[in-house]
Amino acid sequence: SHHMIFIFKNGKGVRIPLSAYETKSNRRRLTGAYSSASPLAAAIYEKETVDVLLVSDAGKGILIKSSLIPEKTTRTASGVILFQLKKKQQIADAVAGEALNKYPDASKCRKIKIPAVGSSLLIPDVSELQMTIE
């Protein structure tokens, strides 16, 4: 089934089934699409289980299967900690599917359980990464 995966800057993540977005009433815009407890680092559409790479601004990464991210039916769920970050660190990037090619050594950051501590990652082009954070 189809999900939206929200990855937050604080290292948390949540998977929400698209059925949670079916509107019951006739309204113009969707409010409360995701939790506002922490800024969003990425929103990923999931058709089937994919690998998701979370990259911290300290150049560490974790690669997990999207099925590890717990599913919540409430849109405003703030999720669970996926990436154990040190103080003042945050998620700089989160990619899935094709976009993983941006990080050639992502596979060595594979984690099988969460929460996980990041492994060092070769960051391809830092200036490009800074751009995404802005």
What are the mean pLDDT values of the chain's consecutive 10-residue runs (134 residues total)? Answer: 92 93 78 87 93 92 93 91 93 90 88 89 62 55
In which element (H, E) is residue 127 found? helix 126-133
pLDDT of residue 128: 54
pTM (two decimals): 0.85
Q: Based on the number of CB atoms within 10 Å of its own CB, is 50 exposed (0-12), middle (13-18) or buried (19 or more)? A: middle
Q: What is the pLDDT of residue 22?
A: 83
pLDDT of residue 25: 78
Largest CA distance in the chain: 48
